[in-house]
Amino acid sequence: MRLEGKTVVITGAAAGIGRSTAERCAEEGAHVIVTDVDVEGGQAVAEAIEADGGQATFHELDVTDSDEFHAVVDAVADAHGLDVLVNNAGTGHPGGALETLDDDIRDFVIDVNIKGVWNGCHAALPHLKEQGHGAIVNVGSLASILGLPKQAAYSMSKGAVLNMTKAVAAEAGPHGVRANAVCPGFTETSLLDQYLESQDDPEKAREQMIRQYPLKRLAEPEEIADSILFLASEESSFVNGHGLVVDGGFSA
């Protein structure tokens, strides 16, 4: 198994890509640390993994709280060790022209998508550097490489995630620590549902979206989880500072 004996911390793991990643990592032998602000959902994921014979522990975590992030990571490292951090927690915003977006929406997106990833790296890197090995996988977006119209705050935040990943890779690489990002296209998650619901005609918006993908469908969370698993495992041992685009050919 690709992650046997490893401890993997995953943020935003109560649903969507985070949940699928937790399940895949557990299937590959990892002790998965499920974290989320959604206590009920996060506990349910951990319990389901345990019921299927895997190893999982839930920790409540608000990624925007640096002290809380440090406390969780330190506790996990002391109790189980730390091998992989997956910074998956993220948020979007209703579609709208840049000049119409309220400052509080912009700030919330920045707090979760940028500061959340920063807080995770800030908490995990001392442990990973000291032991001389480990991996960080940040979840970016197609918006990390393309500016999406009416998604200015989201595009800004995900662009920052990708460039931050490259900076961490360059800095931590000499210590044996890798950092990479997965950049998914639109994926069948609640975040997508929220975006579509903000459109005048959600069903028409979905159809138009699908037509832009050469594969003529959107991604499933399990497909993104498989890409995260690859970057978390030793199969990608010489991959560092990379943004792996998983978009069904959209950007092509």
Residues that are catalytic: 154
Nearest CA to 228 out of 239, 215, 213, 216 is that of 239
- Quote the distance between the C-alpha of residue 146 and its chain's center: 18
> What are the φ/ψ torsions at residue 32 (nearest 5 degrees)?
-95, 130
Q: Amino acid letter at 218?
A: L
Nearest CA to 193 out of 202, 204, 181 is that of 202
Contacts of 159 (CB under 8 A, 6+ apart): 143, 144, 145
Q: What are the tokens at 243? A: 């943004």
Q: What are the tokens at 244? A: 């792996």
Long-range contacts of 69-75 (CB under 8 A, 24+ apart): 69/119, 69/120, 69/122, 69/123, 70/119, 70/122, 70/123, 72/9, 72/33, 72/35, 72/123, 73/9, 73/120, 73/123, 73/124, 73/127, 74/123, 74/127
What is the three-class DSSP state of 252? coil
> What span, in angstroms and rounded, lies between the C-alpha atoms of 109 and 89?
11
Yes or no: say if 43 and 68 are a contact pair by the CB < 8 Å rule: no
